[in-house]
Each structure stands twice: as structure tokens, then as C-alpha cells.
Amino acid sequence: MVHIRFIQADGTAQEIEAEPGESLMVNAKAKGVDGIVAECGGSMVCGTCHVYVAEPWFGRLPAPSDMEVDILDYGLHRSPQSRLSCQIGVTEAMDGMVVEVPVSQR
Amino acid sequence: MATLAPYIPPHVKPEQVFSFDIYADPRVGDDVQGTYSAALADAPDIFWSPLNGGHWMVKRHDLIAEIVKKPEVFSAREMQIPRVENPPFMIPLSLDPPDNVPYRHVLMPKFSPRAVADMEPKMRAMAADIIDEVLAKGECDFVADISARFPVSVFMEVMGLPLDKLREFRAIADTYFNARTNEEIQRISQQIFGIFNELIAYRRETPGDDLITHFLTVDVEGRKLSQDEILAMSFVLFLGGMDTVTNVTAFTFQHLAGDPALQARLAADPSRLSDFAEEGLRMFGVIGTPRLVVQDHDAHGVSFRKGEMVLSALWQSGRDSEKMDNPDGFDIDRKEKPHLNFSTGPHMCLGHALARAEMRILADEWLKRVPSFRAKPGVKHGFRIGTVIALESLPLEWPIAEGVA
């Protein structure tokens, strides 16, 4: 099992056991993590599964596609650690990863 | 229009048949989405209606999500029920992924949450102007005077359409949504294309910071958009910007008019307006999204066959008792407000952030000026159903402040 810690904008934390092979978004939705809306269901068109991935995990992720970068750039609350959680495939190596949820998705 | 004979293909099981006329079912009444949901209470989750040429209909939230996320089976290339010979081609809506992606890319900067946030002061001013026109009268038809004008005005600003043509455009859009025959659809589409051709010619000469100018100048995978592509994109945005927000807002205000406690609460605490708008969206969905089956597919005991139409009734998604308690109750405090009225998957509505902002801003500007109002008693509002649901009128009245009027 891969343990991933989600931290909300108000500081509350929730640790989930994530399923490798599924996206971070699908895992977060399945475990009812607040603030992950994912309105398009992972089609990379809505940008409402935005998260901030903490280092060192952020630097280890495969680079985002141009489309993902565009969606993040046009979205709200952009930070250098921003990613779309639907585009992050969970792997065993992510055990212990810390992910922050933005104050809003819209 | 000639009435089509009821049609049931041999592979449809008898228990899957439920006769429902999406254009005129008599069970749908003044509480449009509520009576619609009640009428379908006994229908299977996926059913075949033999009317209007015969088509599938999907009424459950999760099944709708499944259908619209499977474009290789359920294609968006045709969206007319019954099918027509030369269906309108809309970019990016009629294109299945990955072909729709570059076009969505082109549109994103103008419809993104950030672009919408940047537009907010302008939208507020537009809402204020529109409301101020009727304020002193103490009455209005909320549909004709407010909800039809505001979203369309905002949209026209985005597109760079001249606002003095508002009523003309609105009338054309109404005719389009009422059209059923191939001939009518073609004729009205041509009118709309004519308007856009004029506008494109104008913007070639006089560039602005509007969407048409963006279309004319943007680089798409190393090339410029063709005139036909610009027309096709403008067409879907034009129709999408006209009827959708107008109708959801009208139904939501129809509810608000009958709930003085909610009026007072929202007027006192505008921070809850986003929840109000979202609950309105959940309760009063207005869009159904038809798909064409392009390959045989068996799922959930249903045999979808190539060439059949499937209507995902998005307005049912917010009324699904499997997704929430008390789906027919309007409650801005419910934590989850599940609905798919912007659809989901690769064709999810590009205007979702804009639509939500428009609803919130209009309600805010309205309640600042008209904190207490009601529907005029004894007046029928009228509605129409189809692949779009509309409220035809909403006569409201409110006390006029002393010294005004």
C-alpha cells in the first residue's frame, strides 16, 4: 500500500492508502478527500483536481504535458508545485508523499 | 412535422421499453424538472422510448457519466433526435477526442477560471445596468428582461458581437432550439452563419481583444484556423451562450421567488451565493446531451446498436436518489451537490466557470437591489422541453422604495 497525505488549505490532514496504477485523483475521490472535484472525471479539460505536490516528490514526477501546463496556467491559485492529480499515476515509490489541496478549485 | 411511427428494434427487450415524448410528454408539468423526474420514476435506468424515431434514454447520474466518457462508442458527431440528414457540425462539440483537443486548447484562455475572474467587474457592471432598467418599475418578466439578457450580453462581450443586435440574436436562438425538421435547422443555421461571417469580416479589419479576433490570430499546431473552423466554433459557442445560463437562472429564480427566507438569508450573506448557484444547477438542469452509437456495445443488459441515438438527460443527474438524500429539495447547505449539468469527460462544458460566475454575480447584484420579491400570483410561466429545457416567462414583483418611481 502507498500512503499519501493530503493537507487541506485550513491545515487539516488526511492520510489515504492509495492504489498503485490508478491516478492520484481517482484514489483521492475513492477515499473522499475534500476539495478534489475532478468534474471532467480525468479527461484533463476542467482543472478541478488541482493539487500542490511537496518536494521531494514533485521533482520526481514525470514532467507535465503542454496541455496540463496550460490548464494550470489558466486556472486559479497556480504555484510552482501545481499539478493536476488526474495526470499523476500512483506508484509504490510515492509512499509517504505529501499533497496539498488548494483553497478552491474554481 | 410528420409524426413518426413508434419504433422498437427487435433487440430491445420488452422490459426496456418506456414510452416518453422528450418534446411534449404530458406528464411534465410546471415543476418541470420535478415532474420530469417523477414521470421517469418507474422507467428503467436505461430505457428505449419508441417515440421521436425511437432512442435510448439514460436517467442515472453514474450511467450518464459512463456514456459521455465513452466517445469511441457514443459519439458526439450527431446530436439530433430524431436523426436528421445533414446534422450541424460543431467544433469542438461534434469532434470526438483526440480531434477536439486542439480546439479546446484554443478556447481555454478565454473561458478559464482566471479569465472569468478577470471579467468579473465588467460582468457586475452589465448585471447592474440590466437590473437598473427595471428596478423602479417594481415588476418585470425576469426571463425576457433579465436572465435572457445578462448571460447573452456577457457572451456577446466575449465574442465581440454588437450588443444592439441582442434581441435579434436571441430570437434566432429561440427558433433554433424549437426547430425539429432538417429544413428548419439548416435554414436557421445559415442565418447564424451569416451573422458570424459579417462579424469575422469586421474583425479582420478592426481587431479587438474579443474571441473572434483571437480565432483569427491564434496559432493552432503551427497553422491558422480556417474560416469554416471559426464559423463552426462560433456556432456552438453562440448557441451554448444563449439558452443555457438563461434557463438555469430562470428556474433558480423561480424557486427563489417562492422562498422569502432564502432571499433574506442570501441578501444578508452573499458568501453563500456560490452554494446557491450550485444548488440551482443541481435542481434545475436544462441540457440533455444526445449521442450517436457508432459501434455495437452491450452494457448493463442493454444492446446498443450502431446508428441508434442515446439521450443522456443531464437534468436527471441532479435528481438521482442514488446519489443524494432528498433530491427534490432545494438546500444550499447540502455539502455535496452532485450533478452533471456541464456533462463530464472530454466534452465537459468549457463555459462551466463562466456560467457559475454569471449565476452568482446576477443573484448578488439582484439581491442588492431587490432583496425581497415574489412571482406575480396566478400567472402561468410556460415552459418547453426537448434536448434543452426552458422557462418561458417569470413575472416578478417587488416593493418600490419610497421616493423612487
pLDDT digits (tens, 9 = 90+) for B161-176: 776 777 787 678 778 7
Query: pLDDT exceeding 70 applies to what percent of chain B?
Result: 97
Please tell me which of the candidates A45, A71, A74 has its beta carbon nearest to residue B348. A45
Partners of B309 in the β-ladder? B292
What whole-number distance in Å separates Cα of residue B202 and Cα of residue B198? Answer: 6
Closest chain B residue to A44 measured between Cα atoms?
B346
User: What 3-state DSSP class applies to B116?
Assistant: helix
Are B339 and B317 a contacting pair, CB within 8 Å? yes
Q: What is the pLDDT of residue B271?
A: 97
For the record, the C-alpha cell of B183 comes out as 429544413
Residue B2: pLDDT band (50, 70, 90) is very low
Helix residue ranges, H only, B312-351: 314-317
Is the pLDDT assigned to residue A98 strictly greater than 90?
yes
What whole-number distance in Å separates Cα of residue B63 and Cα of residue B65? Answer: 5
Please tell me which of the candidates B101, B113, B344 has its beta carbon nearest to residue A76. B113
Closest-CA residue to B54 (of B309, B293, B299, B388): B309
Q: Does B109 touch chain A (CB under 8 A)?
A: yes
* CB within 8 Å of chain B, chain A residues 31-60: 39-41, 43, 45-47
Q: Does A30 touch chain B (CB under 8 A)?
A: no
HEC per residue, B170-231: HHHHHHHHHCCCHHHHHHHHHHHHHHHHHHHHHHHHCCCCCHHHHHHHCCECCECCCHHHHH
Q: Does B352 touch chain A (CB under 8 A)?
A: yes
Closest-CA residue to B119 (of B358, B309, B326, B349): B358
Please tell me which of the candidates A41, A71, A74 has its beta carbon nearest to residue B344. A41
For the record, the C-alpha cell of B341 comes out as 449539468
What whole-number distance in Å separates Cα of residue B119 and Cα of residue B136? Answer: 27
Q: What is the pLDDT of residue A11?
A: 96
Please tell me which of the candidates B69, B105, B342 has its beta carbon nearest to residue A70. B105
What are the φ and ψ backbone dihedral angles of A31, each rounded to 5 degrees?
Answer: -100, 5
For the record, the C-alpha cell of B192 comes out as 447564424
Contact B115 A74 (CB under 8 A): yes
pLDDT digits (tens, 9 = 90+) for A5-49: 999 999 999 999 999 999 999 999 999 999 999 999 999 999 999
Q: State mean pLDDT over B24-33.
A: 97
Q: Does A89 touch chain B (CB under 8 A)?
A: no
What ipTM does this complex have?
Answer: 0.90
Q: What is the pLDDT of residue B403?
A: 54
Size of interface A-B (CB pairs under 8 A): 49
Interface residue of A49, A70, A72, A74 to substitute, partner B, most B CBs within 10 Å:
A74
Is the pLDDT assigned to residue B392 strictly greater than 80?
yes
Distance from CA of A55 to the nearest CA of B (A): 26
Contact A71 B108 (CB under 8 A): yes
Q: Tell me whether strands B374-375 and B55-58 are parallel, antiparallel or unpaired.
A: unpaired
Q: State mean pLDDT over B108-131.
A: 93
